[in-house]
Amino acid sequence: MELGTSCFQSDLDFCPECGTILPLPGVQDKVTCVRCSFSIDVQDFEGKVVQSCVEFNRLGSVHVMIMDDGQEVKGPTIDRKCPHCGHEGMVYHTRQMRSADEGQTVFYTCGQCKFQEKEDS
């Protein structure tokens, strides 16, 4: 590893220069950070075990709420505190409200008081 130019010490999963997650080693001689171009010799990864975990929601974990106006809101529950009543746990769903090159809008609905808020990303 080229230690002379790094800003901080990190695990081999992260770039020691900028902290970006490094791509997995391939057939190239070096692993290069996509953000700052810092490179690490691929041999430094020899013997390293890479693990990943994907956590899926339980079947039936989608909640359905009927609003006062009869509108049905369904979606997964997230650990988010309602700013209106303080209840922990809000249902969320996303929509593409703006052009395709901009982020989605996330809508949160409180399961307790039905307060709704949106977050543009």
Where is the binding site, in residues?
Answer: 15, 18, 33, 36, 82, 85, 110, 113
Q: Which residues are annotated as a binding site for Zn(2+)?
A: 15, 18, 33, 36, 82, 85, 110, 113
Residue where the block lists tokens 């543009």: 120
To 5 degrees, how large is the angle CA 40–CA 46–CA 48? 100
Residue where the block lists tokens 């994907």: 54
Query: Cβ contacts of residue 16 below 8 Å, gap of 6+?
Result: 1, 3, 6, 7, 8, 9, 10, 38
